[in-house]
Amino acid sequence: MADSGPRTSNANSRDGSSAAAPSNTSTPEAPSPPPRSFSLIKPSELKSGKKQKRRVFRAFRSVFRSLPILTPSCKCPVSPGLQSDSHITNSGHRVTGTLFGYRKGKVTLSVQETPKCLPSLVIELAMQTNVLQKELSAGMVRIALECEKRPGKEKVKVFDEPVWTMFCNWKKTGHGVKREATADDLNVMELLKAVSTGAGVLPGNSESEGIDGELAYIRADFDRVVGSKDSETLYMLSPDGNSGPELSIFMVRL
């Protein structure tokens, strides 16, 4: 009987501590929002019958595009490769190219087989969006992306090179970097899925970009021309069929 008091006291102490435990339990975190879903499809899922027919005038147009590029600042040996017979006989195939970015941020280039496809190439260019807009408003823009040949990497496709030295209208601007498409990139492609060609702005993240948080874009059809295993070129096709492209992007391994 003398021991019953302490045992009772210890039991009460244990009960008290167990009762207080729930008060120290942290509030459960709210569940994270579900990931965004995209309806973009893989290029391989496209119907094979949608390959566009080549016309004779495109072959003649490619001849004029093969004129040499005189450049004092960058080596850009694109023109010799593009003067080959392969440029004339293989006039390339049409792809969708989109350049987009915040006005004071860097431009991203996305290449898709069609606007409904996942990007096959995404490169962050070494140029701010507002600078590219000024260059385009002034006239024709030529972007050269150069990288070095690496021994043992002959089988690597030009589109798969990770880093490029970039020139815009013969002026070195920095380095372009290939990367995987982010959720934000895919969101832009999803919003523009119904747009084949055009330019405009999309609402951006105002918290990070301030009042100028609009995301500008320009989308057009491009002729993708393979000059050799070390050179490819994207020629913007003007929707109104004028004399020449406003934008050309040369990708070369030297």
Helix (H) or strand (E) holding 60: helix 56-65
- For 182, other C-beta atoms within 10 Å of its C-beta total 11
Model confidence band, residue 212 (pLDDT cutoffs 50, 70, 90): low
Give the mean pLDDT of the chain: 75
Cβ burial, residue 207 (10 Å; 0-12/13-18/19+): exposed
pLDDT at 116 over 90: yes
pLDDT at 48: 45
Q: CB-side exposure of 246: number of CA atoms within 13 Å?
A: 17
As given in the structure block, the two tokens for residue 9 are: 């006291």
Find the mean pLDDT for residues 190-194: 95
pLDDT at 59 over 80: no
pLDDT at 155: 82
Q: Which residue has the higher pLDDT, 5 or 113?
A: 113
pLDDT at 138 over 70: yes
**Residue of 186, 191, 203, 194 whose CA lies nearest to 35:** 186
- For 143, other C-beta atoms within 10 Å of its C-beta total 25
